Structure 1
Amino acid sequence: MRRPRPVTPAPGQESVWDYPRPPRVERVAERVAIRLGGELIADTRDAVRVLETSHPPVYYLPIADFVPGALADAPGSSFCEFKGAARYFDVRGGGVVREGAAWNYPHPEPGFESLAGRVAVYAGPMDECTVGDEVVTAQPGGFYGGWVTSAVVGPFKGIPGSLGW
């Protein structure tokens, strides 16, 4: 499959087609928050985001910035050729449990050490995830964990027909 035609970003926007491969990790200036079950379960000004070609950013928050009990070990694992072996978490808040809705890299590969002690969360199963004052939408397709904001344009990996990108 050939590469899709990227959307031209407007001023103040980024194209995910300008993101690098291998991915890059960068600090986030805005407040990042997650709500589940009507409760604020994570709130930080210490997030980082991973930028990878064709993907909206994946936000990683410090484990310490989740309320106690919000994360519980879950079965399953996966492997990223760049970041290494991932483990999964169930996410809990307000009496609601979202199984396997978060992951991290306990021992990330070189170049991704800043992900150690941080967790990424799928936006779709949460009540709300915000970057600054903006509520994000989940990356299409349900497999990838990117957060879509008005600051990024695609098309995004995960839409139908994107398997070969």
Structure 2
Amino acid sequence: MTALDTAESSRRTPRGLLWEPSERWVRGRRGEVTVVDSRHPVLVWEPGLPVPMYAFPREEVRADLLRPAENPPTGAHTGSTVFYDLEIDGELLPNAAWTFADDDLAGHIAFEWFRRTGKGLDHWYEEEEEIFIHPRDPHKRVDAIPSSRHVRVEVDGTVVANTRRPVLLFETGLPTRYYLPREDVRLDLFTPTDHRTGCPYKGTAEYWSWRGDADVPSDLLWSYPDPLPAVAAVKGLLAFYNEAVDITVDGERLDRPVTHFTRSST
């Protein structure tokens, strides 16, 4: 019996990787080819990164599709040792997979997720549900709760939203996001963009940018037109980056938070 079999909670390796076993059935595909089919996946968090990855026992991976990497990267992943290129139907995907040096994770292989890094496997499933961007963190909650708070939003002194019908989205590790009815937002002051992002907890977001001359970031405003069922309450509502606008809730102006989104939103 291995350490992974007996683990009861998260553990940390000497190189700083945090890991814990998962009981979810996970599959990863490239096109129509199933590369991973695992009932014993392990969630792994790299130091300084807020989201986990999966690693899989080698026997639950199509190892016959892996080739020693021709040009392995340096420092791409904490504790990585051997990188592999993935070859499927004549297509070679460089550095799509890797192993770990720590004994705790010996015999396990991790893969890049195409929708997160632009390379690797492009379809992932937990049980029968497709998941996107990265695995969902079992220690993270995302709750969308209707409220009657009075929320006002300003961009460079201009009031762009005013409502008493927000939906507050509470997501572990992030500031509260205020999702507002479209009729309570001056959407005429914004221009839709082609920018799209994906979230494993909420779905795919569409964006708008400020039309004025203020020094504010692009893609300041977003909406989930077809959110995942867990956050269905935000469907079609609009939210702003707290990091780059002034939000007043029940008469109290909120401080602008500093998050990993701050760099892209300021």
Same fold (TM over 0.5): yes
Q: CA RMSD in A?
A: 2.2
Task: Report whether the alignment pairs 1:44 with 2:163.
Answer: yes
Structure 2 counterparts to residues 11-160 of structure 1, below 5 A: 21-92=140-211, 95-96=213-214, 98=216, 99-126=218-245, 128-143=246-261
Q: 1:91 to 1:142 in 2, by over 3 A?
A: farther
Unmatched tracts of structure 1, length 5 or more? 3-19, 145-165
Q: Aligned-pair distance for 1:77?
A: 1.0
3-state SS in 1 of match to 2:183: helix
Unmatched tracts of structure 2, length 5 or more? 1-15, 19-138
What fraction of aligned residue pairs are identical, expressed as a percent? 26
After superposition, the C-alpha distances for 1:23-44 in whole angstroms (9 at most, x for unaligned) are 1111223200011233211100
Q: Aligned-pair distance for 1:97?
A: 6.8
Aligned residues: 125
Amino acid at match of 2:203: G
Amino acid at match of 1:132: D
Asked which structure has the greater RCO (Cα within 8 Å, sep 6+), the reply is 1
Q: 1:52 to 1:124 in 2, by over 3 A?
A: closer
- Contact conserved, 1:36 with 1:92, CA < 8 A, in 2? no
Counterpart CA distance in 2 for 1:80 and 1:43 is 27
After superposition, the C-alpha distances for 1:32-87 in whole angstroms (9 at most, x for unaligned) are 00112332111000101111222221111112111251232123111110110111
Give the number of the structure whose alpha-carbon radius of gyration is greater: 2
- Contact conserved, 1:88 with 1:103, CA < 8 A, in 2? yes
Q: 1:111 to 1:54 in 2, by over 3 A?
A: same
